[in-house]
Structure formats: structure tokens, C-alpha cells
Structure 1
Amino acid sequence: MTIKHYDIIIIGAGLSGIGTACHIAREHPGKSLAILERRENVGGTWDLFRYPGIRSDSDMASFGFNFKPWYSDNVLAQGSDIREYVRETAEAFGLYEKIKFGLKLKNSDWSTKDQKWTVSSAQEASGEEKVFTCNFLVNCAGYYNFDQGYRPGFPKEEVFTGDIVHPQSLPEGFDYSGKKVVVIGSGATAITLVPAMADKAAKVTMLQRSPSYIMSLPNTDKISMVLNKVLPKAWVFKLARRRNILFQRALYLACQRWPNAMRKMFLSHMYKHAPNVDKRHLTPEYMPWDQRLCAAPDGDFFESLRSGKAEIVTDHIDRFDETGIELKSGQHIEADIVVAATGLEVQLMGGSTLSIDNEEVNLPKKMAYKGILIQDVPNYGWIFGYTNAPWTLKCDIGGRYLCRLFAHMDQTGVSVATAVDTGSNATDASVLDGFAPGYIVRAIDKMPRQGKADPWRITMHYGKDKKMLLKDPVDDGILQFETAPSASSRGSDLLQQATTA
């Protein structure tokens, strides 16, 4: 079996992986690069999810890549458009020939002696084993299980004569015309599904245990449309990106500083947009931004409620029967199709394992360094986006930081970089401490930790992270560097091994 070696291997060809690869290809064109992707197309999440209405919940001026402007009058993009955007970006930067599709990762092992990673995988179509080695490994595989979403079992669901499906497995073109549809859940997926299915379905009922905060946002950027008439498109894009980043940050900070006032504002906003809905269905129990806000482009979700095509029921499931769902209150909801928008199943590294000298790394016992490297794991990058802002903002500056790190290592002649905690900074808080959607709470014991102070503390603050990753010195006294063993020392090791044998 031939083992191909690369300077850098990136895991995942979604937004994070392609964005990081673009930075590396541009800043370090001399480094050999490979991208390992389990699916047969680029796009990651946006290639996987094909449910009705699938779209971003962040504006594309800040969700897209800074180096490849998203020129569109629409604020929120459809999943198919994002998928095409990722493909265009990969092609523009000459990355397609570097992607190895259809590979499921099994294990990545770092050899201290050889100072390299060995990445074991299998071609899913044939089962053929594929092994690669690299000097630096970058994980851009996201944080959830692509095979299945979180789908709890429902009492007596086996007697239901209709279909029970999870959005993650809903095929493109799924026919629900004229059907009575129940969407279980109240998160971003449910808020997207309800208005998207309401036009064709006979009736859509959103069944929730508790409500979420929902913002009606204009789906056209009228400010940019006006500015495009008098300014170059590139300038308008930069202005829109900066404006949107500042607005999102200000909104989040306002929710943190004045939670009660912001709660009143959001409740008033929702009550106004759905005057025909009982307020208890639109009154969350938690404070704004304890969970991510849901977006309704042009108020489509509220419009579906006002029109009577959709309704909200707040209750708990008692059991299923042949024709639908019996609730704890005694109410019965008839259904032909039940869509269980019950969340994601968290899975790191695409389900593969990570080890050092064949000893598995216990990630929940490790801290994240600057949110990009992992404590005590050599030459390993972890690109993980924001939960309180567009995901790709952190991915963008994370990729640029890695390029700074590579440049420093080349200039100083070192071959290994490891983040080492010498100050007992560890805490019990996860990297997503304070963010409380169900899928994160269920997986809290799978996530790396964060520390008491920078650079081990996760800020979820774009301005602070931008300074830390792009301005602060790479060699900060916490990163420890090693040089490659000299040819003579390697020869001595081989001679000693031969003599011992």
C-alpha cells in the first residue's frame, strides 16, 4: 500500500475546510496540501441537508468568505446557493484536485519519534484502506454526526401509520403535498421548515415543549442595493460586512448586559408579528442568547401563522396512535407526516479517534488554545466557529492564524508546535460554556475544556479574537517548539536500533 505524504492535511471540505485551504494555498503555495472529505461533494453541512427551505441563519456578507465576496441582494442564502458558493471558491483557488472524496476517517496518530501524523481512512464505496501522513493536521470536520441527527424515541410510535422523519435524512424533493405535517421542535430548523412546507401541505403544526426567540429580518439588503448604484461593488460588500458584524455583536452584547429589557423587546416583536397566536406559544422561558436566535426572513414564519396555514401547539407528547399524536393535555394532533426537528448529535473529528504514540487523546480533559489548537497535541489545528455570530468569522481568522504559525515555524526552522499549559489554567467549563441548546447540553462531556485566562479562555468575541490571532506574537511563551532531528541523529538512532536487534 502506497502512503502519500503531505505537509498539511485538512479534514473536511465544507465552508471551514475550503476557507482554511484557501488561506494556506494563497499564503504558502509551496506546501503540499490534501483535503480529506467523506462525502462525494464539497459543501459539508450544505451538501448534507436538503430539507425544505434549508438556508443560512446568518447574513451572507459576514457568513461568506472575506476574500470572496458574496454579491447578492438577498441577505440569507438558500442551502443550494451556499453549496454552489463553496464549489466556486474551491475551483477558483485550484483546490478541487487536492480533495480526496469518499473517505471515512478511522484514526489520526501522531508519532513523537517521526514528528508526523498518520491518518487512517477507508474509501466508503469500496472499503479500500487509505493511509496518509502529514506534518500538520487541521480538523475542519464540524461538530456533529453526519450519519444521523438526534432522534429520541416516542411512546407508541410504532403504531403510527404515517412517516416519522428527521430533517437530516429528508431527501431533496420529498413529497408532502396535501399532507398534514407535524414538526416537532422549536429551533432554527423548525422555524425554517414550517413556512417552507406550509404552502404545499394541507396543514403544518409546530409542536414545541417551549418557545424560542424569533426575529423577523428583511431578506433584501436595501442599503447595499442603493449604494451599489453609486459605489464599486467591492466597497459596498466591505461596508455591508462591517455593518452586519457590528450589528450582530451589539445585539449579542445588549442581550448579555440588559437581558430583561432585550427580552421585553423580543417578546413585543413576536407578539406584534403574530397577533392571532396565543402569547404563551411565543414566550420563551430562557433569556435571549442563552440559545441562538432564530431568523425569519421577511417574517415568513409569522406570515404562515397569520395565514392559518400553520399553527403552534405548546405541550408534551403522551404517545403516538395510528393517526397522529396524543398530548399530555389530552389534545390530539392528526398527522400524515411527523418531522422530528429534535436537534443534532454531537460528534467530533467525524467519528474518528485521535491519538499520540498510539495512546488515545482524551479531548474532554484538554483545553483549547486560542480556540484553534488543542493542549498537548502537537501540530494539530481545530477550526471551530462562533455560536453567537456567523460561524465562518472565526474560521476565517483561525485559518489566517495557522498561516502565521506556519510562517513562524518556517522562519525559525522548527518543525513541531505544541500548546502547553504551565499555569494550571484548567477549569471544568467546556469550550461552549454558557451556550445551552439541547444538543450541546447532551454532549458537554465530549467537548474540550476552556481555561481561566487567555489564551485558554474562549471569548466568542470577534474583535478580541482578531487581535489575539492576527496581531499578538505567535511565540508567546505558551507554544512550545521543537526542531526536526538532524540527519546524523537519525542515522545514529537507526544504527542503535540495528545493533540492538
Structure 2
Amino acid sequence: MTVEHFDVVIIGAGLTGIGAACHLKMHCPGRRALILEGRETIGGTWDLFRYPGVRSDSDMYTLGYSFRPWRQAKAIADGGAILDYVRDTARAYGVDRWIRFGHRAVRANWSAAARLWTIEATRAEATRTEATRSGERVQFSCNFLFGCSGYYNYADGYMPDYAGAGDFAGSLIHPQHWPPGLDGAGKRIIVIGSGATAVTLVPALAQTAHSVTMLQRSPSYVVSLPSEDVIANGLRKRLPAPLAHRLARWKNVLLGIYFYSEARRRPDRARARIAELAQKALGTDYDVGTHFNPRYNPWDQRLCLVPDNNLFETLRSGKAQMVTDEIDRFTEHGIRLRSGVELPADIVVSATGLRMQFLGGMELCVDGVPVDPARTMTYRGMMLSEVPNFAIAFGYINASWTLKADLTCAYVCRLLNFMKRRNYAVCMPRRDTRVIERPLLDFSSGYVRRSIDGFPRQGTRKPWQVYQNYLFDLLSIRFGLLRDGTLAFSRGAFSRAASSAAPERCDVRETHADRVEDGADKSVQGNGGRVGDAARLARPARADTAALG
């Protein structure tokens, strides 16, 4: 079997994978890169999700790329507009030519002797040529592997085992796989759930349905923002697009951090304010205490965003109703609740969340030994302890995903350029066994609790701690030193003995030139920042690390 070799292989051609490819194209020119995409088109989430009303739940100035201005009036954008944005970006930067569609990465093995990854991918039938039609799997090799496939299972959403579901005479569907051509006009529809998908579906379905009921076991916090950002649109009219985008992005970043911090510091005050806004939007007679008063504090789970009060207006107009109760069982004609009430339905949409899945289900191995993600620890939220030449883009859960993904991509480019300059072949975060571990995400959402035990852990101190804070990560990731005493480099292979032994004490003081080189790769600064200045202010480090290479 012929094995094609690349400098970098990116897994996934969605929002994150395309962003990673563009960063490589801009900041690592000349690198040979490949994108493996299991589906037949660009877009990831934004192509997969086809349910009515699908849209962003973050503003596009922060969900969009730092290097690609968002030029449309709507900041809370429709799914189709986001998909166009991702595809246009891929074409504009020429990275669409890097993609192998219909190639689902199923296994990646690092060889210490060869100092490279070998990736096995299954080929979809439509992509097989006559020459390869007899073989289902193909292989690629690379020096550096970059996982950009998100964190959920594309094949299956979470569908509870509903009692009596087989008795239901209507259609029971999950929004992750919306049936093409499904017509809800004139139908009685129940949407089960209280999260982002449910609050998106209800206003969209209510436009043509006979009736829509949003059935929730427990409420979520729901806040409304204008779909158009007046300040950002004003800036776009008066300033060059890149500058307007940058200012709007920073405005929204800082506002988001402020409101998140205030909600965490004063949860009772935040709860009361959110309820007050909901009451104002729904009218004084609406039972906000029952339907919009969660059991948990704000940001223990992600807040639901709705544009222009559309959910509240739909409920207030009577086009939809909210029911807070538990399901007893499905019946032939609908759903019977624990209270004894039966809700009639022709269509039931189980908007009950995602199934989280690490690396899209790809098996990761080092020298043929499978890596158990739950036994690794994340370094800077993007690399795994004791796994060489590997990074994963994992965005924020309390802000736009792309903010952290952009920082990760810039860091990977900076790391690759540094290794090339210094002739390093391998880099790897060395696990400090003294660091206490904890779950990767401190979130109480059901989809997190169901799956988080299969994900890497985080530590209780840097560089192993995940902060969910863009400003902190900006300083740490973009301006921090690469040689920080934890990330080890080698011109040869890391020995297994060194990996398992206690790290040697060695002096890693850096010269002024080294600090500038480590922390000031101006090709990946972005936002007009002066990375060199930040590097010059950094104190020389002395830390435990393996004396390798």
C-alpha cells in the first residue's frame, strides 16, 4: 500500500479545520498539509445540522475567524450564512484543495522510531477510484497531527429510551438528523428539550405548524440579544472591514467576559436579572417562575441565546406553549406526562442533546499501544501528556468556540516554525505526576456528564489547567514561552524510559534571543499585538523537564 506523506494532517473540514488550514497557509508557508473529512462536503456542524431555524448561538464577530471579517448585517447568523462563510474562506485561502472528502480517520499511530504518525482512514464508496475500490482503508503519514473534528458524535445524537416510543403512530426524530422534506405545516408538534436546539426550533416550527409545545423536564436560562449588532454595523460603515471586525470582536469578547464573571460572582443577582428580562418579554401574567427558573446557577450550564426575543414573542402570541413536566410514556397519539396530562402530537422532536466523542471516535496509539484519553492530561487545553507531535482544537463552552480554536491554531503554527528553525523533530508535554487532576469541563449539562469520563483530564495549575478565559489564554498561549519546562523537544526519539521516569533537573534558562524567538514569532501575532515585547518581559524559566535532544 502506498502511503502519502504530509508535514501536517488535519482531521475535519468544519469551521475549526478550515481555520486551522488557513493558519497553516498564512503562517507556515511551504508546509505540505492534508485535511481528512469523513463527509462529502465542507462545513462540519453547519452542513450536518439541517433542522428549521438552525443558527449560531454566538455572535459571528467572535464565532468567525480573526483573520476573515464577518461582513453581513446579522451577528446572530443563520446556519446557511455560516456555511457559506466557511466555504468562501476555504476557497479564498485555497485550502479547499487540501481536502480529501469521504475519508474518515479511524486510527492514528505514532512511531517513535520513524518519528511520524500513520493515519488509517476509511474511504466512502463515492470517493473510491477503480484502483482502490477493492481496499476499504487507505493510509497517510505526517510529522504533526492536528485534531479539529469537534467534540460530539456526528453519527448519533442523544435519544433517551422513551417508554412506549414504539407505540407512537407519528414521527419521532432527532434534530441532528432532520429528515429531508419533512413538512410540519398544519401538524401538532412537540419539541422535547430546553437547550439551544429546542429554543431555536420552536419559533421556526411555529410559523407553519398547527401547534407547537416545548416540553421540558427542567428550565434553562434564556436571554435575548438583537440579531444585528448596531455598533458593529456602524463600525463597518465607517472603517475598513478588518479594523471594524477587530474592534467589534474585542467589544464582544470583553462584554462576554464581564457578564460571565458577574454571573459567577453574583449568581442570585444574575438569576433575578435574567428572570426580570424574561418576564418583561413574556408579559406580567406569564409563569416565569415555573418555566424559566432553573435549579442551577447561571453558567453552571451554558445559557441559551435567542435573537430578537423570538422565542418569547412566539410564546406570548400563543403560537407555541411551554410545558414543564416529566414524561411518563409515549402513547399512540402523543405523550402522557407524570401529571396525567396527555399532549397530542403528529411529530415529536427529541432535542435532547449531543453525544460527546473524543476525536470523532478515532483511535490514538503510540508505538501500537492505544492511548486512553481519560488517562492523559491536557497541556494548555490543546496537547496531551506523553503524546508526541499532536494537538487538538477544543473551544470555549462559555464563549464562542472559535476564540480558543484561533489561539490554538496560532500556537501550533508558532510551534511548528520554532521546531523547524531549531531542527527539532519531536515535541511532547511531559506529565507532572504532582499535579492534581480533575474533569476537563466543569459543567453540569447532561451531555457533558454523560461522556466527560472518556475525555482527557485537566490539572489544577498551569500549564495543565483549562481556564475558559480568552484574556488569560491570550497572554498564556500567544505570548507565553514555548520552552516552559513542560513541553519537551528532541531531535531524535523520546525514550520510553525517560517518559516513565521522574524528570531530570536541568537548566533551561534562555538567552534574550531565545526568548524573543520562542515568544515572538511575528508571523502569528494577529490583532496588531507586539509579541516580542511580551517575550522580553518574561522571566527566564527554571523548571523540571527531561534532558532530551
Judge same fold: TM > 0.5, yes or no.
yes
Q: 2:309 and 2:73 mapped to 1: Cα distance?
A: 17
Aligned counterpart for 2:368 among listed residues 358, 363, 369: 358
Residue number among 138, 142, 147 corresponding to 1:139 in the alignment: 147
Counterparts of 1:336 and 1:34 in 2: how far apart (Å)? 46
1:448 matched to 2:417: no
Q: 2:291 aligns with which of 256, 278, 281?
A: 281
Report the residue type matching 1:430 in the other structure. P
Q: Distance in 1 between matches of 2:292 and 2:179?
A: 30
Q: 1:171 aligns with which of 170, 175, 179?
A: 179
The yes-or-no answer on 1:431 pairing with 2:440 is yes
- Write the distance in 2 (CA, Å) between the matches of 1:282 and 1:176: 26
CA contact (8 A) 2:190 2:349 kept: yes
How far does residue 422 in structure 1 lie from its aligned partner after superposition?
A: 3.2
1:382 to 392, 403, 408: 392
* Distance of 1:147 and 1:418 partners within structure 2: 32
SS at structure 2 position matched to 1:354: strand
Cα displacement string for residues 371-398 of structure 1 (whole angstroms, at most 9, x for unaligned residues) = 1110000000011000001000000010
State the distance in 2 between where 1:17 and 1:288 align: 31
Alpha-carbon distance between aligned partners in 2 of 1:466 and 1:431, rounded to the nearest angstrom: 19
- How far apart are 1:172 and its partner, in Å? 4.6
Please give the root-mean-square deviation of Cα atoms over the aligned residues, in Å. Answer: 1.2
Q: 1:384 to 1:228 in 2, by over 3 A?
A: closer
Equivalent residue number for residue 532 of structure 2? none
Within 1, Cα distance between the matches of 2:220 and 2:244?
33
Question: Residue 376 of structure 1: SS of its match in structure 2?
Answer: coil
Say which structure, 1 or 2, has more relative contact order (CA 8 Å, 6+ apart): 1
Selected match of 1:422 from 424, 432, 435: 432
CA distance in 2, matches of 1:229, 1:186: 38
| Other-structure match for 2:40 | 40
Cα contact 2:77–2:227 (8 A) shared by 1 = no
Matched position secondary structure for 2:13: coil
Q: Is the 8 A contact 2:69 2:241 kept in 1?
A: no
Is 1:337 the counterpart of 2:347? The answer is yes
Q: Would you say the 8 A contact 1:217–1:296 is kept in 2?
A: yes
Please tell me whether residue 469 in structure 1 is matched to residue 477 in structure 2: yes
2:321 paired residue number? 311
| 3-state SS, counterpart of residue 178 of structure 1 | coil
Q: Which residue of 1 aligns with 2:83?
A: 83
2:261 alignment partner, one of 253, 263, 279: 253
Q: Report if the CA contact (8 A) 1:271-1:282 is conserved.
A: no
1:219-277 per-residue CA deviation (whole Å, 9 max, x = no partner) reads 11222333344333333222211111111111110111111111110111112111243
Amino acid at match of 1:95: V
| Residue 194 (str. 1) matches residue 202 (str. 2) | yes
Corresponding letter in the other structure for 1:257:
R
1:145-184 matches, within 5 Å, as: 145-184=153-192
> SS state of the match for residue 148, structure 1?
coil
CA distance in 2, matches of 1:9, 1:33: 6
TM-score between both structures, scaled by the size of structure 2: 0.86
> Helix, strand or coil: the match of 1:443?
helix
Amino acid paired to 1:144: Y
Question: Hey, what's the Cα distance between the residues in 1 that align with 2:382 and 2:375?
Answer: 16
> 5+ unaligned residues in a row in structure 2: which ranges?
129-134, 494-549
Q: Specify the SS of the correspondent of 1:104.
A: strand
- Give secondary structure in 2 for the equivalent of 1:339: strand
Give the AA of the match of 1:270.
A
Matched, 1:21 2:15: no
Cα distance in 2, alignment partners of residues 165 and 150 from structure 1: 11
Structure 1, unaligned stretches of length 5 or more?
486-501
Q: Per-residue displacement from partner, 1:123-177 (whole Å, max 9, x unpaired)?
A: 0225621100000000001111101100011111111100000000103542111
Aligned length: 483
1:219 match: 227
Hey, what's the Cα distance between the residues in 1 that align with 2:140 and 2:236? 47
Percent sequence identity is 46
Select which of 242, 256, 264 maps to 1:234: 242
Matched, 1:371 2:381: yes
- AA matched with 1:65: Y
Kept in 1, the 8 Å contact 2:236–2:245? The answer is no
Partner residue, 1:492: none
Given the alignment of the two structures, is residue 72 of structure 1 paired with residue 72 of structure 2, yes or no? yes
**CA distance in 2: counterparts of 1:173 and 1:236, whole angstroms:** 40
Deviation at 1:445, TM superposition (A): 0.8
Name the CA distance, whole Å, in 1 between partners of 2:228 and 2:459. 41
Q: Is the CA contact 1:431–1:458 (under 8 Å) kept in the aligned structure 2?
A: yes
CA distance in 2, matches of 1:173, 1:252: 40
* Residue aligning to 1:129: 137
C-alpha distance in 2 between matches for 1:91 and 1:2: 29
* TM-score using structure 1 length: 0.95
CA deviation string 1:160-211 (max 9, x = no partner): 1000000001035421110000000000000000001001110100000001
Q: Secondary structure of the residue that 2:121 maps to in structure 1?
A: strand
**Following TM superposition, by how much is the alpha carbon of 1:423 offset from its aligned partner in structure 2, in angstroms?**
5.0
Q: Deviations over 1:262-311 (max 9, x none)?
A: 11101111121112432211111111011111111000000110110100
Match of residue 357, structure 2, among 342, 347, 358 = 347
Per-residue deviation at 1:341?
Answer: 0.3
Per the alignment, residue 117 of structure 1 pairs with 117
Kindly tell me: are residues 349 and 273 of structure 1, through their superposed partners in 2, closer, same or farther at Cα, counting changes over 3 Å? same
Kept in 2: contact 1:166–1:341 (CA 8 A)? yes
Kept in 2, the 8 Å contact 1:43–1:86? The answer is yes
* Cα distance in structure 1, aligned partners of 2:325 and 2:345: 16
Question: Amino acid of the residue matched to residue 187 of structure 2?
Answer: K
User: Could you tell me which amino acid in structure 2 is paired with residue 377 of structure 1?
Assistant: V
Specify which of 195, 206, 211 is matched with residue 203 of structure 1. 211
Question: Which residue number in structure 2 is paired with residue 397 of structure 1?
Answer: 407
Partner of 1:61: 61
The letter of the residue matching 2:228 is: T
Task: Determine the C-alpha separation between the residues in 2 that align with 1:377 and 1:152.
Answer: 35
Shift of 1:426: 3.6
